[in-house]
């Protein structure tokens, strides 16, 4: 292709903390077994926000400019040679991980653990794989999923965070009739509540330090009951923090009238005190699912788990979940799930969207939960 015929597109490119630039970049026809997607909706994620504010997400620091975004849906605009499952004009969702498909984990269907995984918008690997905050994106056809007829682009952008919860629910073997407690009522926590209800949980309750978010969870039927933890000064010693965690859970279980605890606890904050509380909040023989990414090193009340056979399970991203996620989103069973999307911003205003997400409230004082970035035109 000669320089005169190079086509340009816009991309929101992160160069460092709070240094996000709208740039014009060339885009190319998709290669073998790839397809090109015109992005219509991208949800902003907590990991995106960490990169925006700090230039890193935990151990993964920017080594070069990076396009963020990995919760996305759009329309097929081109298909490369060898692609047989996708067609021009088809509405699709993008699964952001590109796995090797060769290692033992991939062969066993646990490709979320692939050590050669390249995840769009993550700085874990270098060269980085750009994410979806751009007009168009070329991506492997096997990681592109057709949308059900009743699933909008904005709803399909929720398939990525919903997949996180589907994967966690599978690992927890969540079944009908179980009692579920969710720590944290951000987007992931709300989706944990929504999914537990769809899976037939007999009771779904939520705990947070943010009363506004708890009111949101209860008013839209995601949780039947909520409890707002009081804000207190940081504990002076690890022992004091462990004691507080146990005391707080006693109050929580009394408030919910569940003295024995809950069958499954979804820990969606990543905060050390909540992880500690989760162990005490699980019933004897129950399960704690660690979903939130936060504290790297945590002191745990392990005897409270070991002596009661409480299983503590990690859950990382997802595998083989997108078909179920999209089917649920198009079915209407996830009641009020669209209420999660509180703001929609064009690509050109992505920096403003990140600042909104960081504040947690918009200019009118309204809560910010999930922001969708759409095309600029």
Name residue, tokens 């009238």: 257
pTM above 0.75, yes or no: yes
pLDDT digits (tens, 9 = 90+) for 6-41: 889 999 999 999 999 999 999 999 999 999 999 999
Q: How many residues appear in the chain?
A: 377
Element (H, E) at 351: helix 350-359
**Full pLDDT tens readout for the chain, 377 residues:** 555 578 899 999 999 999 999 999 999 999 999 999 999 999 999 999 999 999 998 888 999 999 999 999 999 999 999 999 999 999 999 999 999 999 999 999 999 999 999 999 999 999 999 999 999 999 999 999 999 999 999 999 999 999 999 999 999 999 999 999 999 999 999 999 999 999 999 999 999 999 999 999 999 999 999 999 998 888 889 899 999 999 999 999 999 999 999 999 999 999 999 999 999 999 999 999 999 987 778 899 999 999 999 999 999 999 999 999 999 999 999 999 999 999 999 999 999 999 999 999 999 999 999 999 999 86
What is the sign of the dihedral through the CA atoms of 269, 275, 280 and 282? positive
Angle between the N-to-C axes of helices 187-198 and 211-219, in degrees from 0 to 180, rounded to the nearest 10: 30
- CB atoms under 10 Å from CB of 375, counted, come to 15
**Nearest-angstrom CA–CA distance, 272 and 14:** 30
Find out whether 185 and 162 touch, Cβ atoms under 8 Å.
no
Q: Are strands 97-98 and 118-119 parallel, antiparallel or unpaired?
A: antiparallel
Smallest Cα–Cα separation from 324: which of 183, 205, 165, 207?
A: 165
The pLDDT, as a whole number, for residue 234 is 86
**Is the link from the previous residue into 127 a cis peptide, with omega within 30 of 0?**
yes
**Cβ(62)–Cβ(169) below 8 Å:** no
Q: Phi and psi dihedrals of 229, rounded to 5? A: -70, 135
Model confidence pLDDT, tens digit, residues 158-181:
999 999 999 999 999 999 999 999
Give yes or no for a contact between 190 and 215, defined as CB atoms under 8 angstroms apart: no
Nearest one of 363, 334, 108, 99 to 222, comparing CA atoms: 334
Which residues are CB-neighbours of 334 under 8 A, at least 6 positions away?
162, 194, 195, 198, 328
């Amino acid at each position: 292709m000669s320089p005169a015929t190079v086509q340009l597109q816009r991309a929101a490119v992160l160069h460092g903390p709070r240094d996000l630039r709208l740039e014009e970049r060339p885009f190319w026809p998709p290669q073998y077994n790839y397809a090109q997607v015109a992005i219509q909706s991208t949800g902003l994620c907590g990991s995106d926000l960490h990169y925006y504010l700090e230039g890193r997400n935990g151990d993964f620091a920017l080594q070069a400019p990076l396009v963020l975004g990995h919760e996305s849906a759009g329309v097929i605009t081109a298909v490369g040679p060898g692609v047989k499952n996708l067609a021009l004009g088809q509405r699709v969702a993008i699964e952001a991980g590109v796995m090797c498909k060769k290692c033992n984990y991939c062969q066993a269907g646990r490709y979320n653990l692939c050590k050669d995984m390249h995840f769009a918008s993550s700085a874990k690997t270098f060269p980085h794989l750009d994410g979806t905050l751009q007009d168009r994106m070329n991506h492997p056809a096997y990681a592109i999923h057709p949308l059900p007829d009743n699933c909008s682009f904005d709803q399909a952008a929720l398939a990525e965070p919903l997949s996180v919860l589907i994967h966690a629910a599978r690992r927890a073997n969540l079944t009908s009739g179980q009692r579920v407690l969710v720590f944290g009522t951000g987007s992931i926590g709300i989706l944990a509540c929504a999914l537990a209800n769809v899976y037939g949980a007999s009771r779904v309750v939520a705990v947070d330090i943010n009363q506004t978010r708890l009111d949101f969870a209860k008013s839209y039927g995601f949780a039947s009951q909520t409890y707002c933890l009081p804000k207190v000064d940081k504990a002076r010693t690890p022992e004091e923090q462990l004691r507080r965690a146990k005391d707080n859970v006693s109050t929580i279980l009394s408030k919910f009238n569940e003295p024995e605890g809950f069958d499954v606890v979804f820990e969606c904050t990543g905060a050390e005190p909540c992880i500690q509380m989760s162990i005490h909040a699980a019933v004897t023989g129950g399960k704690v699912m660690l979903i939130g990414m936060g504290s790297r090193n945590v002191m745990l009340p392990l005897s409270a788990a070991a002596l009661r056979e409480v299983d503590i399970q990690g859950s990382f991203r997802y595998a083989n979940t997108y078909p179920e996620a999209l089917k649920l989103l198009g079915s209407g069973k996830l009641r009020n799930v669209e209420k999660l999307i509180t703001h929609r911003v064009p690509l050109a205003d992505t920096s403003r969207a990140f600042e909104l997400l960081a504040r947690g409230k918009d200019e009118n004082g309204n809560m910010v939960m999930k922001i969708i970035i759409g095309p600029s035109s």
